[in-house]
Amino acid sequence: MKVFTAAAVLVLFSSGVPASAAQAPNVTVAVLDTGIAEHNKLGWSLDSLGRGSPKLPALAGFDFVSDPWQAADGDGWDADPTDPGDGVRPREVANHCASRASTWHGTNVAGTIRIIAPEAQIVPIRIMGRCGGNTADVAAAVLWAAGLPVPGVPDNPHPADIINLSFSGMSEVCPRALSTAIVQAGEKGSVVVVAAGSRARDTAQETPANCPGVLAVGAVDLQGARAPTSGFGDEVDVSALGGDMSINPKNGIRTTTNLGRYRAGIPGYGYYQSSSAAAARVSATLALLASQVQGSRGESLVMELMNFLDPLAEGDCDQGVGQCGEGIVNLERVQALTTT
Active site residue 276: yes
Catalytic residue, chosen from 230, 276, 291, 296, is 276
Catalytic residue, chosen from 105, 137, 190, 239, is 105
The answer to whether the CB of 28 falls within 8 A of the CB of 121 is: yes
Q: Can you point out the beta strands (E) in the chain?
A: 28-33, 44-46, 52-54, 62-63, 121-126, 162-165, 169-170, 191-195, 206-207, 214-220, 238-241, 253-258, 267-272, 309-310, 328-329
The answer to whether the CB of 67 falls within 8 A of the CB of 15 is: no
Buried-state track 230-248, b at ≥16 Cβ within 10 A, e below 16: bbbbebbbbbbbbbbbeee
Peptide bond into 90 cis (omega under 30): no
**DSSP string spanning 214-267?**
EEEEEEE-TTSSBPTT--BSTT--EEEE---TTT-GGGSEEEEEE--SSS---E
Between CA 313 and CA 335 the distance in angstroms is 23
Tally of residues, the chain: 340
Q: List, in order, residues 6 or more apart from 130 with CB less than 8 Å away.
A: 69, 70, 71, 72, 86, 87, 88, 92, 96, 97
Q: Could you give the residue numbers annotated as active site?
A: 33, 105, 276
